[in-house]
Structure 1
Amino acid sequence: MPGWIEITLRSTSVIIFLFILTKWLGKKQISQLTFFEYITGITIGSIAAEASFDETLNLYHGLVAMFIWALIPFLVGVTAMKSKRARNFLEGKATILIKDGKVLEDNLKKEKYTIDELLEQLRKSNIFSIEDVEYALLEPGGDVTVLLKKENQPVTAKDLNLDVAPIKQPETVIMDGVILDEPLATRGYNRNWLQNEVDKQGVAIENIFIGQLNEYGELFVDLYDDKISVQPSVERPLLLATLKKSQADLELYSLSTENKEAIQLYKKNAKKLISLINKVEKYLT
């Protein structure tokens, strides 16, 4: 067998086997690496390279070696899931680097972390003053998580006692000119509704690169041809304008009649509309 064919077959086998091992180990292996996962990841890569190109190495032995090295983090993960003490020893635990706006120098030295590295991590979280920080922790995965002091945290709707509508996840309903039925049905729509929405924007589905439904059920489309502009949805602004017009009409009716009962009725409903508009205006603009 020619050498290039053997290398092709060996490399293909190694890639397939690595893919199977990675799926078996789970997504954590390619995101947050523990000590064991970091070590085994490097070693498995080295074994895979040797198994692909070294014709003197038995391919079967290389695959067995990769499996054994993949088995180690799997068993470590199972052990860590069952025991908190084992998890702390094998994967480590978070270390406090800042507490009450004060840097804990001993913990920095323990983790071999410099003040420059800490400031860099804070700046990545848009924090430039240490005194604004309540807690900063170095996580086992190497990330620094930060909790700002209460007075420095952004104001939320809960702080202002405001009622907000729940946010729905945007759904991609068109991709590469093809309708995706499952996410469309998840939002309670069908193809006929989608076709009508596409027609309103004057485009064809096959010309849409990606189409998404936002939290309000409005369709956003991006076309293959970037030179073509698509008209934005006007349903929400139109609804707001209609509400404001209705409120103004009620005020006008109250001024154009001499019937006291009608005047009170018009003014009462006009006030209700004003209250409604104040509540929904932020969602309709």
Structure 2
Amino acid sequence: MDEMTEVFTIPAWLEVTIRSVCIIIGLFVITKLLGKKQLSKLSFFEYVAGITIGDIAGTLSMDAELQLSSGIISILIWSLVPFIISFFSIRSKKFQEFIEGKPTVFIKEGKVMEGNLRKEKFTAEELLSQLRKSRVFQLSDIEYALLEPCGNLSYLLKREKQPLTYGDLHQYVPSFREPKSVVIDGEIMDEPLISIGLNRGWLLEELEKKGLSSKEVFLAQIDSNGEMKIDLYNDK
């Protein structure tokens, strides 16, 4: 009697699931290695690499005919592009300017630099639109403005148009410390407490004075003056 060999075939849905999970994990690791800069500001090459990696990952997870190993190698090669660029940009300002470009001055000493606008393919209306997004409606209020390499418009208001600050009114300006979240979602945060010289015992005592337990607190913060602001689950 002839022996029959049964070949085990993975269902299509299971193969897609395995491929997708592997790719998601791989992309997560790559993103962590590249750092947070890629989340806030993309250079031209980082933008192109991001789109290409996403396209490769999507195609690789759905197309069972493509080899997973070949796709992963392709993703790794494309991921090296922003990593290498960042590596050399940190060590060479000339290389950084060559890759990302330099800021372009649009307004200098209150005067619009029309040549620079044309160079960056900007119209007068587009310049005004960018300023209006920052709540500046009169061009005459601007002393200096430039287009950053990332595409954002930065500007400096004329002295007489700048808002009054605390330092303008007072010679001595006390230091300010960011609020520390000491209770989040009912859980006591020990690290922020220690950073400002307090402890869990002090916090529990302060909550007890108010007739509260930590489990009743949604969020509690201590400001630079040492005062604790509390938001409860039951705001009523």
TM more than 0.5: yes
2:18 matches 1:9: yes
Q: Aligned to 2:81, which of 41, 50, 72?
A: 72
Equivalent residue, structure 1, for 2:6: none
Structure 2 unaligned spans of 5+: 1-9
How many Å separate the matches in 1 of 2:206 and 2:117? Answer: 57
Q: Aligned to 1:120, which of 111, 120, 129?
A: 129
Task: Give deviations 1:14-55, integer Å, cap 9, x for gaps.
Answer: 000001111111111111000000100100000010111110
| Shift of residue 161, structure 1, vs aligned partner | 4.6
How many Å separate the matches in 2 of 1:107 and 1:200? Answer: 63
**Match for 1:7: what amino acid?**
V
Equivalent residue, structure 2, for 1:185: 194
Of stretches 160-169 and 178-187 in structure 1, the one that deviates more from structure 2 is 160-169
Equivalent residue, structure 2, for 1:176: 185
Of stretches 46-55 and 112-121 in structure 1, the one that deviates more from structure 2 is 112-121
Task: Give deviations 1:51-97, integer Å, cap 9, x for gaps.
Answer: 11110111111111111001011111222222222111111110011
Equivalent residue, structure 1, for 2:214: 205
How many Å separate the matches in 2 of 1:176 and 1:144? Answer: 38
| Shift of residue 126, structure 1, vs aligned partner | 2.2
Equivalent residue, structure 2, for 1:156: 165
Equivalent residue, structure 1, for 2:59: 50
How many Å separate the matches in 1 of 2:163 and 2:74? Answer: 51
2:106 matches 1:97: yes
Equivalent residue, structure 1, for 2:91: 82
**Match for 1:194: what amino acid?**
L
| Shift of residue 184, structure 1, vs aligned partner | 0.7
**Match for 2:105: what amino acid?**
I
Of stretches 195-204 and 217-226 in structure 1, the one that deviates more from structure 2 is 195-204
**Match for 2:111: what amino acid?**
K
Please give the residue correspondences for 1:203-282 in structure 2 after superposition, counting only pairs within 5 Å.
Answer: 203-226=212-235, 228=236
**Match for 2:50: what amino acid?**
G
Identity level (%): 49
| Contact 1:177–1:206 under 8 Å retained in 2 | yes
| Shift of residue 101, structure 1, vs aligned partner | 1.7
Residue aligned with 1:220, SS: strand
Q: What's the RMSD between the two structures over aligned residues?
A: 1.4
What TM-score results when the alignment is normalised by the length of structure 1? 0.76
Equivalent residue, structure 1, for 2:7: none
Of stretches 192-201 and 145-154 in structure 1, the one that deviates more from structure 2 is 192-201
Structure 1 unaligned spans of 5+: 229-285
Name which one, 1 or 2, has greater alpha-carbon Rg: 1
Higher helix share: 1
Of stretches 180-189 and 155-164 in structure 1, the one that deviates more from structure 2 is 155-164
How many Å separate the matches in 2 of 1:194 and 1:118? Answer: 52
Aligned length: 227
Of stretches 120-129 and 95-104 in structure 1, the one that deviates more from structure 2 is 120-129
Residue aligned with 1:211, SS: strand
